[in-house]
Every structure is written in C-alpha cells, then in structure tokens.
Homo-oligomer: A and B are copies of this chain.
C-alpha cells in the first residue's frame, strides 16, 4: 500500500471505522498513524494510535479482545478507512460493551442499549 496516497490529518492520523465483518455492526471509530497502520498490516491485528495516551496500542492488548482484520476499504477522499474485523472475545469497547456505540438517542436523552460482555474493573483492575 502506498501510504502517501492516504490523506493524513494535521496530527498525522487517519480515521478508521471498525466493523464486524459478518454483521456490519460498527464497533469502534479509532485513529491510526503510519506506524499503527504498518503494524496492523504486518500482523493482521488492529493497532490504534490512542490520542488520549499518545501511543500505539494493539486492540485487546490488555483484555485479549483482539481484532483480526479481514477486509480494508478506503473512501473517496482517501481520508477514512473501514476495517472489517473478527472481534475476538465479543467486546470491542473498553467499557465492556460489544460496540463503543452503546448509547441511543431517545427524545433528548442518551439511553444505554448495549449489554456488557465483560466487567472493565475485572479486566483492567480499575
């Protein structure tokens, strides 16, 4: 892949939508820098640049909930990627839900619609 053909933002990142490869459920919107994308391509396992921590982490590094990349799509502007993945362990969200998008707007309120797959306190010890 020609990394220079991708449009990296002013922080050197590109947006990546992670989608279940079978159901098309969107699990996570994350970010990669060049190194995270390189590691993802080399290993077949999703690596993200975690903006809050300023470092690259493999998804599931602590929880074991690794994401195996099955298919990669690029958008018209070359500034967003979809990775269709197999979600090991059943949960993509660090809060223990299958998807990070576990809240739905009902009226003016966000209502939790996801069910917890794991207890983050047990997995991360916090």
Contacts and interface: CB of A to CB of B under 8 A. Distances in A.
Contacts of A26: 17, 19, 24, 26, 82
A76 B94 contact: yes
Interface in A48-89: 71-77, 80, 82
The number of times this chain is found in the oligomer is 2
Question: Which interface residue of A19, A29, A108 has the most chain B CB atoms within 10 A?
Answer: A29
Given A15-B15, A17-B29, 8 more contacts: A17-B26, A19-B24, A29-B75, A73-B101, A73-B105, A74-B104, A75-B101, A75-B103
9 contacts: A15-B29, A17-B26, A19-B24, A29-B80, A71-B105, A73-B103, A73-B104, A74-B103, A76-B94
